Structure 1
Amino acid sequence: MLTIYLVCLSYLLIAAGPVRCKPDYLYDSEVQGWLKLHVIPATWEQAFLRCHYEGAVLASPLNEELTKALHSTMTKFGINRRIFLGTSLLLSNGDFVSIEGVLLSDQEIQWSPQGPDPGQCLTMAISGSEHYMYTASCDDQLPYICYRNHDNSTLNECGTFDNKYHYNQKTGSCYKVHYEKHTWYRANMICFAEGGHLVILNDDVEASIVKDMFPIRTDNTTNLWEQIHIGLKAWDDRIWFTIHGDKIDDVYNQWAAGQPDNKMGTQNIGTILRTGQLDDANPLKRNMFVCEKAANKIRFESPTLRWNELIVPFGRSTQK
């Protein structure tokens, strides 16, 4: 794990531009796990899914240590409003249960002086050194904290615990195929949550790599128009850009014959076909998709080496 951090640091020192290597999940030794605060409000279900796709769970006050860690995280980032917790009535009619299956009666709960409000989802707020639990509508939009327990998993060469990501030496990127089909927008959200983005095809080599990710059909039938979502989008004037702002002329741009045709005026996102050529599609169409992740982007802070102990501002000496 230390090796990965040093690689990231080395990259920072030699890179011409800024590189975001700082982990977004910070380790707390008291709870033997990682926490991440999401300040952008979401509904309970959206928060649940985001934590899930990040390889964590929506945090609940399962014990005293975890409750203190939630309190500390809210204080550190100045969160002075309620946050969603991972405990709700949604999993069991009439019983508040955490995502891990822990009943409310077995959690570290300190209700507000007014007692529980009507609502199906548990929330938490802090007031100085005190914290209180409330209930709220699960359709409210609130910040939330994701938590991942420290198990026996180790970070792989792609800087993630997700071993479905594989490093490709030809491109220097990591890739993961999602065979379950989603809309383009949901696919992009999932890739972002995993620490990456929808794959961007920079050249013929990368297009060939992704083309080979189509599943092999056992029924001897092949649909040459089967699609994989990629990080390509057309804007109102039908100018195509990657999701990182690259013009289509500067990246892989081998379209299938007659494409893009913007059929029915709704096809404004890019896909790759089994032939390795590009096609346009409706963003609401459900397709397989491929996520791409920079190998130097580390999601989780090392349990043995804090980020702020490793990185010092440029220009400052580490000598006293």
Structure 2
Amino acid sequence: MKLHRVPATWNEARLRCHAEGAVLASPLTQSFLPVMRKLMLANNITQCGAFTGIHATLYKGVYTSIEGVPLARLPIRWAKDEPDNYENSEECLLLQPDGTMADVNCSNTFPFMCYKKKTTNIVATACGTSDPNYYLEPRTGSCYKFHHICQTWHRAYMTCESEGGHLAIINSNTEAQVLKELFAKNPTVLSPCSYKDIASLGFLDWNRDNYWTTIHSETLEDAGYAMWSKGQPDNAVTRNIPQHCGAMFRTALLDDVQCEVFIYPFICEKKPDSLEEN
């Protein structure tokens, strides 16, 4: 189990846990509840509480855990005057430090815990991860993973970070060739996808003033690669959405894309020693 101290909305917490190969934790048994409380108290979560995976977002009033366990089968002890469904807008359950539950608005932000069942015989690859889809590239010394399921640029960023890596950054012509070859090995991506021949990378126009830097705050030139495709960046506006995030064509030449709404495949990068967080 892993506690995230930085508050998030319920849905963002659910997505973050999913990206880590886990689920948003719920007190599924009587013995599980004190474990969750102990983790909260050890991290000084003594005032507000933490989101659980128990929700009624699919149908009003029908609460289940992320795993589908109905509320009636969960060891729930309600806080005083709860649940109250304040203003008919509370569909997510919060575990309070004293072990009681309260219903809250899912759009509020709270800390949360991710839970993954213990697995035996986990084998770490040369990339320092149990994910077999990362491979070590000797020409660069980095590991890469091509994601076929398209996401917005921001969601892709979160996914790579959750895997212990980051959206890939091109630091040389050699690395550009590596990513070009990786893209070529993946001629098809899973639908739906806004653009199948563009992959999100780790750079952006951070201040929206046409000053492009990597997600690690280097200019593209300082990072080692600034080869734009002809006519790019053009900040083409589609559906009134400008282009402030970075990507590459299959040629490895750079492109600017929308950060939200439109979804693309993407490439994650990690160092071999950047082990996944426990």
TM-score (norm 1): 0.74
Write out aligned runs for 1:9-158 (5 A). 35-79=1-45, 80-91=47-58, 94-118=61-85, 119-127=90-98, 131-152=99-120, 154-157=122-125, 158=127
Q: Given the alignment of the two structures, is residue 252 of structure 1 paired with residue 229 of structure 2, yes or no? A: no
Distance 1:96 1:81 in 2: 21
Distance 2:255 2:59 in 1: 44
Q: Is the 8 A contact 2:54 2:65 kept in 1?
A: yes
Distance 1:90 1:280 in 2: 35
Amino acid at match of 1:90: T
Show structure 1 runs of 5+ residues with no match. Answer: 1-34, 219-223, 302-320
Q: Is the 8 A contact 1:225 1:274 kept in 2?
A: no
Is the alpha carbon distance of 1:59 and 1:212 closer, same or farther for their aligned partners in structure 2, counting shifts above 3 Å? Answer: same
Amino acid at match of 1:292: E
Q: Given the alignment of the two structures, is residue 275 of structure 1 paired with residue 251 of structure 2, yes or no? A: yes
Q: Is the 8 A contact 1:58 1:86 kept in 2?
A: yes
Is the alpha carbon distance of 1:117 and 1:162 closer, same or farther for their aligned partners in structure 2, counting shifts above 3 Å? Answer: farther
Q: Is the 8 A contact 1:91 1:97 kept in 2?
A: no
Aligned position for 2:210:
238
SS of the equivalent of 2:255 reads strand
Bigger-Rg structure (1/2): 1
Write out aligned runs for 1:302-313 (5 A). none
Aligned position for 2:192:
none
Q: CA RMSD in A?
A: 2.3
For residues 227-263 of structure 1, give each alpha carbon's deviation from its aligned partner in whole angstroms, at most 9, with x where no partner exists: 1111111244422211111221121122222322333
How far apart are 1:93 and its partner, in Å? Answer: 5.2
Is the alpha carbon distance of 1:161 and 1:153 closer, same or farther for their aligned partners in structure 2, counting shifts above 3 Å? Answer: farther
Amino acid at match of 1:293: K
Is the alpha carbon distance of 1:133 and 1:296 closer, same or farther for their aligned partners in structure 2, counting shifts above 3 Å? Answer: same
Distance 2:121 2:267 in 1: 23
Is the alpha carbon distance of 1:53 and 1:225 closer, same or farther for their aligned partners in structure 2, counting shifts above 3 Å? Answer: closer
Show structure 2 runs of 5+ residues with no match. Answer: 190-194
Aligned position for 2:162:
193
Q: Is the 8 A contact 1:225 1:273 kept in 2?
A: no
- Percent identity of paired positions between Structure 1 and Structure 2: 38
SS of the equivalent of 2:40 reads helix
Aligned residues: 259
How far apart are 1:170 and its partner, in Å? Answer: 2.1
Is the alpha carbon distance of 1:192 and 1:58 closer, same or farther for their aligned partners in structure 2, counting shifts above 3 Å? Answer: same
